[in-house]
Amino acid sequence: MGVGIIGIGHYAPDNIVTNADLEKIVDTTDEWIRTRTGIEERRIAKDDEDSSDMALIAAEKALKSAGKTAEEIDLILVATVTPDKSFPSVACMIQDRLGATNAAAMDLAAACAGFMYGVITGQQFIEAGAYKNVLVVGVDKLSKITDWTDRNTCVLLGDGAGAAVLSSVSEGNGILSFELGASGKGGPHLLQKDDGFLYMNGREVFKFAVRQMPESCMNVVEKAGLKKEDVDFLVPHQANIRIMEAARQRIGIDEDKMATTIKYYGNNSSASIPIALSQSIEDGKIKDGDVVVLVGFGGGLTWGAVALRWGK
Ligand code: COA
């Protein structure tokens, strides 16, 4: 038996903030944002909509798509760097609201690579035989730590949640290989400052990401005993279309074989990969038997990639 994703769902707030809206609050242009990042609009949560509210909706959708009840979930892992509070965790909050009374629950923080860390942590519990069903959620409300006067960061970010249910799947399907990594030395390039706001050294993060994303993609492909020609679909972290392109070109697949939700959502941090994956499933871009590579990087610095064969 393998371990795979048997259900997935996502949620983004209704409130759309366009590049034109941002032109009114910082010194930027729609043209600059589109050409440098690929972003045209992003979703921003209302003041009374916190990470747990978004996580709950994505989790409910994932459970429905997996055909599992909340009581069947053994463990809830929520990847987030913007929990409602430091405790109780978002995982405990949604455990209660879902009625997942049999589940252990905890948050984990690996910024934009958080969902990859969550999936691999969940996989280990299932492979070890400890748990049957693990709910992994990636959620962030970056808008609450965004400095809306800083054009270097505020144009890039958006809010949202994505969730997946992990369970055992038939031999040959599911997770084929993974890579997780961290470089704490790079921490100062992307962090939450003492004033609470997000700070980013865009150039340094860009340099790191254009090297790491393609390398991690190739590493998981090789670890899975595959060739890059075997990859059917790529789901990269949606931080910048130019970084995503570097990964796509290294794998050597067509543009329509890469998830690109960045245009509509911007960078959703921990939620970015599950939103992009869920949207791709919804759009019918991934079919059973496809080899899919998920790859992300983020503050920490952290990175993670997974090669999997889609299907139960
Ligand atoms: N509008 C207009 N100009 C802007 C701007 C904006 N929103 N943001 C920055 N600029 C300016 C900068 O101030 C700089 O001006 P200067 O040369 O006078 O200092 C200029 O644009 C060019 O900056 P540069 O860093 O060379 O631009 P870039 O083409 O590398 O793009 C980023 C900047 C942030 C888009 C890019 O570096 C990036 O995507 N970095 C990685 C970000 C990332 O992935 N973060 C998430 C990690 S999970």
Among protein residues, the one with the nearest Cα to ligand 1's atom 8 is 152
Same domain for 86 and 229:
no
Beta carbons within 8 Å of 160's beta carbon, 6+ residues apart:
10, 11, 12, 13, 43, 54, 139, 140, 265, 268, 271, 272, 275
pLDDT of residue 71: 98
Same domain for 101 and 137:
yes
Identify the domain boundary among 122, 150, 169: 169
Residue 147 has pLDDT above 90, yes or no: yes
203 within ligand 1 shell (Cβ under 6 A)? yes
Give per-residue burial for 273-305: e unless 16+ CB within 10 Å, then b. bbbbbbbbbeeebbeeebbbbbbbbbbbbbbbb
Among protein residues, the one with the nearest Cα to ligand 1's atom 36 is 202
Dist CA 187 CA 301 (whole Å): 5
267 within ligand 1 shell (Cβ under 6 A)? yes
As given in the structure block, the two tokens for residue 66 are 């997996």
As given in the structure block, the two tokens for residue 78 are 């929520």
Residue 204 has pLDDT above 90, yes or no: yes
Same domain for 257 and 161:
no
Is residue 154 part of the annotated active site? The answer reads no
- Kindly state the average pLDDT of the residues 6-30: 98
Same domain for 229 and 92:
no
Same domain for 258 and 303:
yes
Among 206, 212, 216, 302, name the best residue to mutate to test ligand 1's pocket (greatest count of ligand atoms within 8 A of Cβ).
Answer: 206
pLDDT of residue 251: 92
Same domain for 96 and 27:
yes
197 within ligand 1 shell (Cβ under 6 A)? no
Dist CA 123 CA 31 (whole Å): 42
Same domain for 159 and 223:
no
Same domain for 178 and 165:
no
Distance 240 CA to ligand 1 centre (A): 10
Among protein residues, the one with the nearest Cα to ligand 1's atom 2 is 28
Is residue 237 part of the annotated active site? The answer reads yes
pTM above 0.75, yes or no: yes
Identify the domain boundary among 121, 143, 169: 169
What residues does 266 pair with on adjacent strands? Answer: none
Among protein residues, the one with the nearest Cα to ligand 1's atom 1 is 28
Q: Count of domains in the chain?
A: 2
Dist CA 127 CA 141 (whole Å): 32
Beta carbons within 8 Å of 70's beta carbon, 6+ residues apart:
63, 98, 99, 100, 101, 103
As given in the structure block, the two tokens for residue 242 are 């130019």
Distance 310 CA to ligand 1 centre (A): 36
Q: What is the mean pLDDT of the chain?
A: 97
219 within ligand 1 shell (Cβ under 6 A)? no
Domain at 283, CATH number: 3.40.47.10
Dist CA 185 CA 171 (whole Å): 39
200 within ligand 1 shell (Cβ under 6 A)? yes
Same domain for 158 and 11:
yes
Residue 1 has pLDDT above 90, yes or no: no
Give pLDDT tens digits for 43-92. 999 999 999 999 999 999 999 999 999 999 999 999 999 999 999 999 99
275 within ligand 1 shell (Cβ under 6 A)? no
Same domain for 259 and 196:
yes
Atom number in ligand 1 closest to CA 296: 48
201 within ligand 1 shell (Cβ under 6 A)? no
- Kindly state the average pLDDT of the residues 212-225: 97
Is residue 189 part of the annotated active site? The answer reads no
Distance 91 CA to ligand 1 centre (A): 34
Dist CA 146 CA 268 (whole Å): 12
Same domain for 182 and 136:
no
Give pLDDT tens digits for 222-249. 999 999 999 999 999 999 999 999 999 9
271 within ligand 1 shell (Cβ under 6 A)? no
Q: Identify the domain containing residue 50 by its residue range.
A: 2-169
pLDDT of residue 87: 97
- Kindly state the average pLDDT of the residues 91-112: 98
- Kindly state the average pLDDT of the residues 180-188: 98
Same domain for 277 and 135:
no
Distance 203 CA to ligand 1 centre (A): 7
Identify the domain boundary among 169, 186, 218: 169
